[in-house]
Structure 1
Amino acid sequence: MTTYKYFIGTDIGKTTNAVCVIDELENRKLERTIPNTKAGMQMLLAKLQSLADFDLTTALFCMEHTGIYCQPLVSFFYPIGANLWLQSAVHIKHSLGLKRGKTDKADARLIAKYCIRHQRDKRLLALTDSVLATVRQLAQQRERLMEMAKQITDLSQDYQAMGLLTELKLHQQTSDIALVALRKQIKVVEAQIERQIKTSPELKTNSLY
């Protein structure tokens, strides 16, 4: 049985993840909120590697199974050898009488504690190469589409903040149709990711249902 040195609780959100890292004595070593994107995962890895004696082989990640929103973390960390444990939100909530915190950061702390206290019951994620490759490609496409939509909305907000109402109106007239199309396509890609992850026995077992 692997002896883990670090336990990483992650509260997965649509756009951001709250992360809490504790050691085997439940001392808090790192807390961070990161974008739920590839860039956010790169930031997290850099922070983890700054911890004393950190190694992915002796770190255990635990998170609630949230379907597509887990994919940036899974797609980034799984291929580099991370130990990923996706658990039912209901199971985490009821174990040890844990209750949801008032903030995402508090929830990440609770998940980290759940991770260390129930590590003997873990079921590590195992994806086939073909499923992982497809999910990674879809997750990357979703990130690109979201970035394009963000650029459009950010520019609208900039015009609004600067009081450039004429420019704002023209921008909206020439980009609203594209923005609607982008958001629709994001949902299509998300549905494709959902279908892919449902082909994994591990993800089915650890699902919310």
Structure 2
Amino acid sequence: MNFSNHLLNRKSKVMKNIIIGIDISSKTLDICIKEESLNYYSIENNVQAIKRFFKRYSNENVIVAMENTGRYNWNLFEALEKFNFKVYVISALHIKKSIGLVRGKNDKIDALRICNFIEKNYKESREWKPSSCSIKKIKILLTERALRIKIKKQLVVQQHDYKLMKDIGLDKELKSLNIKLIKNIEGQIKIIENDIENIIRSDETLNHQQKLIKSVPGVGQVLSWTLLSKTEGFTIITDPRKMACYSGVVPFDFQSGTSLKRRPGVSMLADKNLKTILHLAAM
């Protein structure tokens, strides 16, 4: 009897999950590990340091969770592809809404909150899977394109201020420099757009999906690129209803008893970039 209890206890220890929450910044990773006790670590945010740290857990049942912080996640993604861990990338807003009233904040506490959140919710959360190389490239190029479009808008607005400099004789020179800079940026945008199209054409699946998307009236290149990027080739969002909710185009009820009853409206919890592009396509 004692021997069987020993085996059961050993099995439970072997099967027990190790929960890891990671708070990410540009240079460091603050890590909270929940095993028999809580342990905290801080390591550099580079691929070699991450691989070195996680190597000790390579034969364990590990659940790793982190917030989505854009480019700061990339080193973690590259390193974690080499391990057989369950990885979850969580919206910061989702965690914030789930923890209730809190006071204070630092990197160590944030790592603990991520750790506690995923321990309770990992069964209902979607597990992260590495994106294909084509999707990674498209996402980066779309980000670079958006940055240049923002700069171009600022330069166009700036042209109106040059009229105020006519009295001191700088208006024509500055406007000429401004126009040259805009043309340069437009050339870069065109190069990026051609690169995106070439990536899609070279990928048989993405090329077929783009043709299907563009067969819908009003859908052009930018919307097709955005849909492929946001859904990662329709692999992470496969349900039309979920896609509509994610895009922020679904009305929801606002009603409570008899005191609160408003007409249905769309939620602010949506991908604003995708919603904007869908709106422009519909105009």
What is residue 156 of structure 1 aligned with on the other side?
Answer: none
Cα RMSD over matched residues?
A: 3.4
**Is structure 2 residue 46 aligned with structure 1 residue 34?**
no
* Deviation per residue, 1:18-49 (Å, 9 max, x gap): 001103x7x31x31111111122023214545
2:82 counterpart SS class = helix
- Decide whether the 8 Å contact of 1:61 with 1:83 is kept in 2: yes
Hey, what's the Cα distance between the residues in 1 that align with 2:103 and 2:16? 25
CA gap 1:129/1:111 in 2 versus in 1, 3 angstroms: same
Deviation at 1:121, TM superposition (A): 1.4
Deviation at 1:119, TM superposition (A): 1.7
Deviation at 1:129, TM superposition (A): 4.0
Hey, what's the Cα distance between the residues in 2 that align with 1:197 and 1:42? 28
- Decide whether the 8 Å contact of 1:78 with 1:84 is kept in 2: no
What is residue 133 of structure 2 aligned with on the other side?
Answer: 130
* Deviation per residue, 1:63-120 (Å, 9 max, x gap): 1111111111111112332211001000011113164753211110111111111122
- Decide whether the 8 Å contact of 2:64 with 2:88 is kept in 1: yes
What is residue 33 of structure 2 aligned with on the other side?
Answer: 21
- TM (norm. structure 1) is 0.55
**Is structure 2 residue 112 aligned with structure 1 residue 109?**
yes
Hey, what's the Cα distance between the residues in 2 that align with 1:93 and 1:132? 29
Asked which structure has the greater RCO (Cα within 8 Å, sep 6+), the reply is 1
What is residue 63 of structure 1 aligned with on the other side?
Answer: 66
- Identify which of 1, 15, 24 aligns with 1:12: 24
Residues paired across the two proteins, number: 140
Q: Identity across aligned pairs (percent)?
A: 24
CA gap 1:46/1:126 in 2 versus in 1, 3 angstroms: closer
Any gaps of 5 or more consecutive residues in structure 1? 136-191
Any gaps of 5 or more consecutive residues in structure 2? 1-14, 139-195, 197-225, 238-242, 247-269, 272-283
1:79 counterpart SS class = coil
**Is structure 2 residue 55 aligned with structure 1 residue 43?**
no
The structure having more radius of gyration, on CA atoms, is 2
- Decide whether the 8 Å contact of 2:77 with 2:130 is kept in 1: no
- Identify which of 76, 90, 102 aligns with 1:73: 76
- Decide whether the 8 Å contact of 2:51 with 2:80 is kept in 1: no
Hey, what's the Cα distance between the residues in 1 that align with 2:132 and 2:53? 24
1:21 counterpart SS class = strand
**More divergent stretch after superposition (195-204 vs 10-19):** 195-204
CA gap 1:19/1:68 in 2 versus in 1, 3 angstroms: same
